[in-house]
Structure 1
Amino acid sequence: MKTLKFNNMKKCALIVLGLTVLCCSRDYDEAIKTNAKTSNTTLSAPVSLLWNDNGVRWRSFMHLPLINGVASTELPLYELSDLSQADNIGSPGNVWSPPSNSPAYSYLVKKLETNANVWINAPHGQYPSFKLVTEGYNNSEYGFYPGYAFWVDWVNGNPINFTIFNNAKNLSNSDSLHETGLVFEHYHNQWGLANYAFTGQYNLNSFIKIKPSFNAMLVGHARNNGASELKTSYLTADLRIEYWKSNASYPTRTDLLGVIFCNPMNDDLNGNANDAIFWKDWTGNWVNNSVQTSARILLLANKLGLPSINSLDVPTEITFDYIPLIQEYLPPPPPGYTYNDAIIVGFDVYSSVRNSDMTFKLWNVNLEGNN
């Protein structure tokens, strides 16, 4: 067993729970019927969308540091990057063009132990099968409290067990968004190549069902007491989608649907306790035109009757189907587009906090489709 751990992490206390939400009406029944597949009574065996399948069993990952949603100016951390087992997952090798000033198919990372920049690479130039994402943190905050860390516990051939720390409560910028978790990403390409985290370039019509499944457990939670601060803390599983036309240089619209499966403090950023919506990035009824470039929404699992984590230290299996949620809660495709043009570009499981601490365990992560 190889474990990445850190020191000086204070144990967090849990503040118990409740869940509220909100919603908006949908007038898109005909558009949904036109663009969605018809469900069959008998489904085929599930197909894994992830190269690192059967629960994420192999060490093929990189650190992805973000600030305000874009790549940080700091290098990824060596301590959170390991491509040594990329040969075990079957993804293509030597598939991307490295910068002219770098060794072939290698990544430049920061090694904190020696404060040196070093190159790492997969055995045959494979792309990382997933990334350990951090949002809002500096590299200097890794392994400390307040700060963040990942424990990556691995036994040969078994799903990796992640313990993920997101402790922003006592940071000087604690009211800013801080996130930590796993990101599986795909980049749309005109050839439909599966060079990244996914085994194919899939769209929303590739499957009748698209089901994440994983085990998770809330380990710790704490929050600032100030009444004036914006405070949120939740665990979510998001599917990211981009609408593309052939030979286009950029997507027409970028969508995200997340399902919050743990919300310890009954947070509701949409202000309506009578529906299942936690937050969305549009107001009022959606007017379908070519102007909108984004449709993002977060839903609350317990309001949808889906599995959710309701107490501390209780292992919980989370699974559901994205397709009916997309059909009900996201707008229909842009004019002239169908679900065939909706490319699946990401699957993320992570914690998100403001003025809070949150620690959770995650293991046996899967994303599968059925026809």
Structure 2
Amino acid sequence: MKKYIIIFIGTFSLFTNCGSKENAEIPINPPGEDKETVDLLWNQGVKKKNYTHMNSHDRGRQPSLCAVSDLSELIPGKPSNVNETYACLEGGSIAATDRSAPSVHLVSINCDGHEYIYDYPNSTRKTGFAFNPKRENPDDPIEFQFVNLASGYTNADSLKYLREVGLVFSNWGKSNTGNWAFKRDFTIGEFDKDIQLKFFAKLDHVNKPNANNNIYITCDLRYVFWNGNQKVRADLVGVLVYENLANPSNPDPVYWKSSSNVGSDPSERWFIRGARTQVPQLTSEWKEITINFNKFIEMLPDPPAGVSYDDAVISGFDLYSSMRGQDVVFSVKDVRLVGYKPTNK
């Protein structure tokens, strides 16, 4: 299960060219109405030190870095009947003292554990990754700096490797059988598809020596349509909040899409270019980014026959950088996932 989490992320990101030339229509938001706001995450705002590192490579799941993991603050009321432990690169394992899974994973894809940069930006290293979590006051959101450096590789194969660094909130399956990032199983339909991701972010550094390679930072919402206990389709809608692309003038709002299976599961996966769809983009200054996922979910194909959005359980969301042979560093804090529930529903 834990291996599947990481491989799934890397799988949908392996494609960096837009396969769609269709003119997708962006739906507008519905008229305002009274709505109840619901925080979907246990660790809303990521104010608790409750995260672990998860590392994956083309060769499979790699040991985590316990030195950059922190489960020192437990989530009040969090279920504790899941016992997940993580093998450490340094030896041994790490697990929460209440024997529960962490609220969020700090993720590196195709990065070797020994390449972690503990002293960025003071280090002179040209390759590696880092997360750099920090918090001035106990009640403040934790600020993460996601460092993803790959321009310094000299081997051609290393320069072609896809590398991703970011964070992942996962709620695997109906009945929460995996990770306890979400308060419970939430469906798309119960919020009338009005779900918003909010966070503060800034772009710290970009180095693009190869103009033919892309760099992007994306926010991906994942959900699974269930018919009883049977998975029907696993969907993903990703919205780019930064892009430094080989073809920046392309007006198509759809960056890439696929209807191919993920493992044995039918899937619809779409990446939407935020710069073409009124989503604020990262700059060198802190700003709050809000992504209204409802208007992007409606761009994907309709629910499969026999099910509806009321059967679409949210399985997680990801926020990460993706690139080959480039450098990108960005900072994120106060990550919130909010559902707006019509009071008359």
Distance of 2:88 and 2:259 partners within structure 1:
38
SS of residue matched to 1:92:
coil
Partner of 1:298: 271
Distance of 1:240 and 1:349 partners within structure 2:
12
What amino acid sits opposite 1:325 in the alignment?
F
Q: TM-score, length-normalised on structure 1?
A: 0.76
Partner of 1:157: 139
Query: What is the CA-CA distance between 1:136 and the residue it aligns to?
Result: 1.1
Contact preservation (8 Å) 1:242, 1:255: yes
Query: What is the CA-CA distance between 1:267 and the residue it aligns to?
Result: 4.4
Contact preservation (8 Å) 1:187, 1:345: yes
SS of residue matched to 1:140:
helix
Match of 2:217 among 235, 238, 256: 235
Give the root-mean-square deviation of aligned CA atoms. 2.7
Distance of 1:207 and 1:71 partners within structure 2:
36
Query: What is the CA-CA distance between 1:195 and the residue it aligns to?
Result: 5.8
What amino acid sits opposite 1:261 in the alignment?
V
Partner of 1:60: 50
Query: What is the CA-CA distance between 1:133 and the residue it aligns to?
Result: 0.7
Partner of 1:136: 110
SS of residue matched to 1:153:
coil
Distance of 1:107 and 1:355 partners within structure 2:
29
Distance of 1:131 and 1:362 partners within structure 2:
14
Distance of 1:324 and 1:343 partners within structure 2:
18
Partner of 1:122: 96
Contact preservation (8 Å) 1:276, 1:300: yes
Distance of 1:267 and 1:83 partners within structure 2:
42
SS of residue matched to 2:295:
helix
Match of 2:306 among 302, 320, 336: 336
**Contiguous gaps of at least 5 residues in structure 1:** 1-19, 30-37, 99-104, 112-116, 284-290
Q: What does 1:3-14 align with in structure 2 at a 5 Å threshold?
A: none
Contact preservation (8 Å) 1:21, 1:300: no
Cα distance, 1:50–1:335 mapped onto 2, change above 3 Å: same
Partner of 2:182: 198
Distance of 1:292 and 1:133 partners within structure 2:
23
Query: What is the CA-CA distance between 1:264 and the residue it aligns to?
Result: 3.0
What amino acid sits opposite 1:364 in the alignment?
D
Runs of 4+ more than 6 Å apart: none
Matched, 1:370 2:340: yes
Q: TM-score, length-normalised on structure 2?
A: 0.81
Post-superposition Cα deviations, 1:346-367, rounded to whole Å, max 9, x if no partner, equal 1111111112100001111110
SS of residue matched to 2:205:
strand
SS of residue matched to 1:151:
coil
Distance of 1:124 and 1:337 partners within structure 2:
37
The structure, 1 or 2, with the larger RCO (C-alpha pairs under 8 Å, 6+ apart) is 1
Distance of 1:264 and 1:342 partners within structure 2:
32
Partner of 2:285: 314
Percentage identity across paired residues of the two chains: 30
What amino acid sits opposite 1:231 in the alignment?
N
Query: What is the CA-CA distance between 1:247 and the residue it aligns to?
Result: 2.4
Post-superposition Cα deviations, 1:190-225, rounded to whole Å, max 9, x if no partner, equal x46796101110111021310000011110011233
Query: What is the CA-CA distance between 1:107 and the residue it aligns to?
Result: 3.3
**How many residues in Structure 1 have an aligned counterpart in Structure 2?**
307
Distance of 2:60 and 2:71 partners within structure 1:
20
Cα distance, 1:203–1:40 mapped onto 2, change above 3 Å: farther
Partner of 2:4: none
Cα distance, 1:23–1:156 mapped onto 2, change above 3 Å: farther
Query: What is the CA-CA distance between 1:277 and the residue it aligns to?
Result: 1.1
Distance of 2:151 and 2:64 partners within structure 1:
23
SS of residue matched to 2:190:
coil
